[in-house]
Amino acid sequence: MKVVDIKPFSDPVVGKVLGRPLFRDAINSMGDIVVWTFTEILTDEGITGITPYRISPEMLALLKPAVVGEDPLNIQRIWDQMYWRCFNVGRKGLPIIAMSHIDIGLWDIIGKKLKTPVYKLLGGFRDRVPGYGSGGGISLSQEELVTEQMSYVAEGFKAVKMKLGRRDPREDIERVKAVRAAIGPDIDLMVDANNGWSVNNAMRMAKRLERFDVRWLEEPVVAEDYEGYAQVKASTEIPIAGGESEYTKYGFKELFHRDCIDVCQADVGKVGGITEYMKIAAMAEAYNLPMCPHGRGIVSAHCVAATPNGMIVEFFDANRYTNTTIRTFQEETGRRFMPHSIRPIKGWIDLPTVPGLGFDPDLEAVEAYRRKYGTITAEVARRTSRPVNHNLYLSL
């Protein structure tokens, strides 16, 4: 079997303008346009791998020669070839993100070829994994925040996460207090500062958060400040989580041996794909650290199910009950486009039994929708340079 092409299915597929930024945390504003994109990896045997992400044309041109003509079963060699093409372009950021997405699609092909779900190919450890409800943007009012977090609890999730990083830290504390009071003592509550604090501020905030039984404090300081991470970790009883802004095994080596984190949040769509994620998970296991991957719900579920130290999967459904536009759009298109998508039930995900990653979109339905609304999307894309949110439904 050989890869013959890698190409975007259609870009953008459909879009929707929301009227206000979908989501804000301490450093990111996620824009107000939602689109669907997929990238297909085609083989000479008619097996197609789907990676549910967009790959920029420049990165695709860079990486294609490392993949086309290769047998996807030689995944380690392909990974190595892709990495060396990235080496002088960027060993963090966009090139590694692009190769991550290709690697994910290649694993989909391997699973389909061997007629096995990916998590079993990786060495299945469990068939179902717990998820946590993630969201709690700092742009929400306190009332919206509590409503959103409680909606996850009502669905059966046993853990929820909210963002910190309001301009006035006293508001952060008030918001945590309100959420803890609403969810009660039996639900895990995680908080995420998204790189937003100085070391001193992070240590002060950690001290003030201890009384709320916080399950973990995520990305307290900027990702590059390994010393700062270690200082914050040593100062508090709250476990420190990090890694969603880190790349490849080389980056995680720093986080681990400098004693920066208690919870490893490698992002399979950033670190170098499933191939590299599994190596990072093994390194984390040697440091006795759990893996709680960042986002990418469906792909992350396979990774968590395949590793002894896999703990929980993040399900992110921004502004789920406060922005009905996005909710309606996701429901409407998601059900139609992703009939096989993995859905958490009472906070748990049963891994798919079908070959590959198990989320093949209905591309005919996507195309039909695009024919109907595609021109509106193109016009919107031309009119604005605002950030775009891709495939939000996939993280459910």
> Which residues sit at the interface with Mg ion, rule CB under 5 A?
192, 218
Cα Rg, the chain, nearest whole Å: 20
Nearer to Mg ion, 162 or 199 (CB): 162
Nearer to Mg ion, 172 or 218 (CB): 218
State the catalytic residue, choosing from 101, 163, 233, 390.
163
Nearer to Mg ion, 218 or 276 (CB): 218
**Distance of closest approach, residue 92 Cβ to Mg ion, in angstroms:** 17
Concerning whether 101 is annotated as a catalytic residue, the answer is no
Contacts of 140 (CB under 8 A, 6+ apart): 148, 319, 322
297, burial (CB in 10 Å: exposed 0-12, middle 13-18, buried 19+): buried
Asked if 364 and 338 count as a contact pair (C-beta separation under 8 A), the reply is no
- DSSP symbol at 356: B
Nearer to Mg ion, 106 or 260 (CB): 260
**Distance of closest approach, residue 165 Cβ to Mg ion, in angstroms:** 11
- 118/107 Cα distance (integer angstroms): 7
Concerning whether 294 is annotated as a catalytic residue, the answer is yes
188-200 per-residue burial string, b: 16 or more CB within 10 A, e: under 16: bbbbbbbbbbebe
Question: Can you say how many angstroms the Cα of residue 290 is from the centroid of all Cα atoms in its chain?
Answer: 17
**Distance of closest approach, residue 81 Cβ to Mg ion, in angstroms:** 31
Nearer to Mg ion, 103 or 192 (CB): 192
HSE-CB of 90 using CA atoms within 13 angstroms: 16
**Distance of closest approach, residue 282 Cβ to Mg ion, in angstroms:** 23
| Residue at shortest CB range from Mg ion | 192
- Residue 337, number of CB atoms within 10 A of its CB: 22
**Distance of closest approach, residue 184 Cβ to Mg ion, in angstroms:** 24
Looking at the annotation, which residues are catalytic?
Answer: 163, 294
